[in-house]
Copies of this chain bind each other. A is one copy, B any other.
Amino acid sequence: MATLETYIDRFRFAELKREGGILTIKLHSKGDSLRWGERPLQELPIVMWEVGQDPENEVVILTGSGDNFIADFFDEPSQSGYAAFNFDRALRNQRAVIDGLLNISAPMIAAVNGPAHIHSEYALLCDIVLAAENTTFQDAAHYQSGLPPGDGVQIVWPALIGINRARYFLMTGQKIDAGEALRLGVVSEVLPQADLMGRARQLADQLMTVPQTVRSLARETLNCYWRRLMQEDLAFGLLSEGKGSMQLYAERQA
């Protein structure tokens, strides 16, 4: 059985801290906002797996660093990045992140500290989602980049804002700001960036007041919703994205 000591220092893109049962996962690139790429995607499944194995994580807060949640690419998939092997692995990793996140049996709070233009679903799948006022949501990683939206965004966004709003959002590159995200029910509270983590911890304390098994059953009961949707459509979406990337690579090479 995992204990915090065995995994707290293993990660390069995720800083972990636990106080009184409340674990904070802070995504980052050398301390500043995480810049997305293959390496964080290889690391995150293991973060989620380890966090989920350790029963002493009783509530989990997921947040970013600096002014963005995740908004920029470190290594924009280069031409060679589109080769089939890597993409297959990337998609397998993406699946493992989502499965791993849903398998964490502690309630999760997302504290979205700013623009979430890449993998916003990591935050949106959490039970309670708070956003800083400077947050914007966008899907920068798919249609705009020549790829079909299949890594989970095609599931999470229709569930949150309705299928017609979501298709427009995913196919046109629309940006949604914090106020609109609140109106649409994507996030549940919008706060000044400075107050974000304080409020997250306050809610975490509040969630701690029921027995652990009850907390975990509440989480599981509500996660049924996402598990079913992921089971139904994630595999097809990931495969679409994989095939799309091969096609894009072939065209670019030709």
Contact = CB atoms under 8 A, between A and B. Distances in A.
Given A99-B99, A127-B167, A127-B171, A211 B146 contact: yes
A49 interface: yes
B211 A171 contact: no
A107 interface: yes
Interface residues of A, number: 79
Given A162-B160, A186-B164, A217 B148 contact: yes
A170 interface: yes
User: Which applies to chain A's interface (DSSP): helix, strand, loop or mixed?
Assistant: helix
A185 B172 contact: no
B185 A148 contact: no
Contact of A206 (B127, B148, B172): B172
Given A127-B171, A172-B203, A244 B214 contact: yes
A237 interface: yes
B146 A210 contact: yes
Contact of A165 (B146, B188, B221, B224): B188
A187 interface: yes
A154 B235 CA distance: 16
B148 A214 contact: yes
Interface of A: 1, 42, 49, 55, 84, 88-89, 92, 96, 99, 103, 105, 107, 124, 127-129, 142-143, 146-150, 154, 158-168, 170-172, 184-188, 203, 206-207, 210-211, 213-214, 216-218, 220-222, 224-228, 231-233, 235-237, 239-244, 246-248, 250-251
- 8 tightest CB-CB pairs across the interface, nearest first? A168-B188, A148-B217, A231-B231, A148-B218, A165-B185, A162-B185, A217-B240, A213-B247
25 contacts: A55-B89, A84-B213, A84-B247, A84-B250, A92-B105, A107-B171, A127-B167, A129-B164, A129-B168, A148-B214, A148-B221, A149-B218, A150-B217, A159-B163, A161-B162, A163-B222, A163-B225, A164-B185, A164-B188, A214-B247, A217-B244, A221-B240, A228-B232, A228-B233, A231-B231
Given A159-B162, A213-B247, A239-B243, 16 more contacts: A92-B105, A143-B218, A148-B214, A149-B222, A158-B225, A159-B163, A163-B225, A168-B188, A171-B222, A213-B243, A217-B241, A217-B243, A221-B240, A228-B233, A231-B231, A246-B246
